[in-house]
Amino acid sequence: MSQLLTAAEMRDVEAAAIATGEVTGAELMARAGAAVVAAIRAEWEGELPTQPRAVVLAGPGNNGGDGFAIARGLRDLGWSVRVLLAGQAGALPPDARAQHDRWAAGGAARGAVLPLTLETLRDEPAADIYVDALFGIGLGRPLGGDLARVVAHLAGADGTLGLYQPRMVAVDVPSGLDADSGRVPGDPAGAAAVRARLTVTFDSPKPGHYLGHGPDLCGRLVVADIGLAHARARQGAARGLAPARTRVVPPLGIADPRRSVWPDIAGLLTKRQGHKYQHGHAMVLTGGVGRGGAARMAAKAALRIGAGAVTLGCPPAAVLESASHVDALMLHRVPDAAALTEALSGGRITALCLGPGLGTGEREAALVGAALDWGGAVLLDADAITLMAGEATLAAKLHDRCLLTPHPGEFRRLFPDIAGRLDDPDPSLRYDEAADADAQARSRAAREDLAAQRGPMMSTLDAAREAAAHCGATVLLKGPATAIAAPSGAAVVHRAVYDRAAPWLATAGAGDVLAGLACGLLARGLAPPVAAELAAQIHVDAALSFGPGLTAEDLPRQVPQVLARYLAP
C-alpha cells in the first residue's frame, strides 16, 4: 500500500484487469461499494442509532455509481437511505447506470432518486452519515454553478461548518479535490471541496491524498483492497516501471516504519568498528560574523546522525565566533573558493553542506562553484539555492552526487518554469455551469490555450521529479508532505500528515537541521536519494518524539532516541 497511483495510472490498472477478463467493471464497482460500507461500519461503530439514516450524493460518473452500490449496501443493513443525484440517470456511464437501475428497481420502499440541488439537500432531515460520491478521480475542472454551491454548503462555506464534516464519508477522494495534486481546482485556498471525516480510496492511495489540501480534506484515509494487486504489478512491469516508482513513506497503518520502509536500517545506521574518518567527514560552510548559527545547527545534526567527524568551514573573521560555540566540531578557515578547493582536494572530506546562513555575495557564489567542481557529495540548501537561481552557470554544474533541499520559495526561484505549472490558471477561466454554451466554450478554449502554453498543471511531486530530471541532481522539496525525486525518475513522498502530523516542525531553523542530517548521511556514504529519504524520516521522527514546543535546537538532541528505536533488535 505504499505505491502511489495517479488517476491515469489507476485507470490503466483497472482497464488492464478488465481486459484480461479476470474481473468486470461492474464487479469492481460492487467491491468498491462493499469496501466503503465496511469502512463506514468500522468508523462509526457504536455511534449510530438502531436504524441509521444516510444521504448519498451521487455524481454523474462512476463515483456516483459507487454511491448507488453503497446506498444498496447500507439499505441491506437496514438503514434508511436517500439518494440525491447530480445530473441525469440516463447520462450515467454503463456500470453506474446499472447500479442506479438496481437501486431504482427497489421501488417506493427506497424513495425516489431526487435531483441534487441546494434545496433538495436542505429539505432532507439531518442524516447520521452523508456519502460524498459526487466526483472521484474523474474531476476534470473546477466545480461551477449549482454543484459549486452544493459543495460550498457541504464544506461549511455558508456557516454550516461542523454540520457535515463529522458525518461525511468521501468515496475515493473528497469531491472538488484533484486526486493527482491535492489541489482544489479553481480555489487555491482549498475551501471549495468537501471536508470528510473518512475517505475510502481503492487499491492504492493517490498523490492528492497526501499533497496540498488532501490531508486536510480527507480526514482519516482508508485504502481498500478491491483485488487489483496483480493487475497493478503486471501493468507496472509492462510499462518497464520499477514496482515502486512512486512511493509514500511510511505507508499508512504501519506503527513501526523501520520494518516496512527500511528493513536494512540497522545496516545503514549502525557504526561498525573503525576510526572516526571511516564513518565519513562532513564539512559545513558557515556565513560571516553573526551568521553562523544555521550552519552550526546543521553541523551538530550531521554529527548526531553519525558522521565520524564534522568540520565547520568559516570565513577567517567568523572563526572566533564559532570557536566559542562548538565543542565536538572542528574548525577550518575558508577565506575563499581557492581555500575550499584546497580543503576538498585533501581527500578526507566525504560530503559538503552549503547554504544555511551562507550569504549570497560574490565570495559565496564562488564557493558554490568550487563545491560543484569538486565532484563529491554536496548538499545545497537555502542561500546556495538562491545563488544558483541567480547564476545559470552554477546550476549547470549540478551532478548526480548533489542533493538540493529547497523550501517551496527556493524551489520557485531555481525552477520558475516548472513552478509556474503548480499554480492554478487564471480564475477568470473557471468553468461555470450557469454560463451559456458559448461562454463555456470560450472559457474551455482559454484554459486549453493556457495549458498548451505552459504544459498541464502539475503536483509538487511531479515538479520535484521534473526538476531532478532537468538538473541531474536529487531534489527534496520541503513541506508537510516532502517530495524527494532522483534524476532517474524514482520519487517518494515522505509524509508528516495523518498519524504523523508534526506541524510544530514548521519552526525557524528546522530546515537547517534537515540539511545537516542529510549531509551527515551523505558523508557516511549513502547515495543522495537514500540520504534524503532517511533524513526526512529521522527529522519527522525527532519532531514527533519531542512534540509541541519544539525548537530547531531540540531536533539534533532528539536524534539519539530516534536512533535507539530504529536500532533496537
Ligand X SMILES: NC(=O)C1=CN([C@@H]2O[C@H](COP(=O)(O)OP(=O)(O)OC[C@H]3O[C@@H](n4cnc5c(N)ncnc54)[C@H](O)[C@@H]3O)[C@@H](O)[C@H]2O)[C@@H](O)CC1
Ligand Y SMILES: Nc1ncnc2c1ncn2[C@@H]1O[C@H](COP(=O)(O)OP(=O)(O)O)[C@@H](O)[C@H]1O
The contact set with ligand Y (CB under 6 A) reads 407, 478-480, 482, 496, 502-503, 505-506, 508-512, 514, 539
C-alpha cell at position 325: 560555540
Q: Is 322 helix (H, G, I), strand (E, B) or coil?
A: helix
252 is in an annotated binding site: no
Q: Which does 175 bind (CB under 5 to 8 A by kind): ligand Y, K ion, ligand X, none?
A: K ion
357 is in an annotated binding site: yes
Nearer to ligand Y, 67 or 356 (CB): 356
Nearer to ligand X, 60 or 207 (CB): 60
* Strand arrangement of the beta sheet that strand 377-380 belongs to: 246-249, 491-495, 481-485, 474-477, 402-404, 377-380, 351-354, 281-285, 309-314, 330-333
Nearer to ligand Y, 437 or 508 (CB): 508
C-alpha cell at position 389: 537561481
CA–CA gap between residue 193 and residue 200 (Å, rounded): 16
137 is in an annotated binding site: yes
Whether residue 294 contacts residue 314, with contact meaning beta carbons closer than 8 Å, is answered with no
Q: How many CB atoms lie within 10 A of CB 140?
A: 11
Q: Which amino acid is at 537?
A: Q
185 is in an annotated binding site: no
227 is in an annotated binding site: no
Whether residue 493 contacts residue 461, with contact meaning beta carbons closer than 8 Å, is answered with yes
Per-residue string for binding with K ion, 81-120, x by CB under 5 A? Answer: ----------------------------------------
Nearer to K ion, 132 or 364 (CB): 132
Least separation in angstroms between CB 334 and ligand Y? 22
- Taking the mean position of all CA atoms in its chain, how far away is CA 106? 42
Binding-site ranges for ligand X (CB under 6 A): 10-11, 14, 28-29, 32, 59-66, 93, 135-143, 147, 171-172, 202
480 is in an annotated binding site: yes
Q: Which does 479 bind (CB under 5 to 8 A by kind): ligand X, ligand Y, K ion, none?
A: ligand Y
Residue 171 near K ion by CB under 5 A: yes
Least separation in angstroms between CB 66 and ligand X? 4
214 is in an annotated binding site: no
Q: Is 169 helix (H, G, I), strand (E, B) or coil?
A: strand
Whether residue 267 contacts residue 285, with contact meaning beta carbons closer than 8 Å, is answered with no
Least separation in angstroms between CB 57 and K ion? 8
How many Å from the N-terminal Cα to the C-terminal Cα in the chain? 25
Q: Which residues fall within 8 angstroms of residue 11, CB to CB, at 6 or more apart?
A: 137
Whether residue 41 contacts residue 52, with contact meaning beta carbons closer than 8 Å, is answered with no
Q: Is 81 helix (H, G, I), strand (E, B) or coil?
A: strand
132 is in an annotated binding site: yes
CA–CA gap between residue 24 and residue 264 (Å, rounded): 40
Beta-bridge mates of residue 202: 224
Q: Which residues belong to the annotated binding site?
A: 62-66, 132, 136-142, 172, 175, 294, 357, 407, 478-482, 511-512
Q: Which residues belong to the annotated binding site for AMP?
A: 478-482, 511
Q: Which residues belong to the annotated binding site for K(+)?
A: 63, 132, 175
Binding site for K ion (CB under 5 A): 132, 170-171, 175
Q: Which residues belong to the annotated binding site for (6S)-NADPHX?
A: 62-66, 136-142, 172, 294, 357, 407, 512
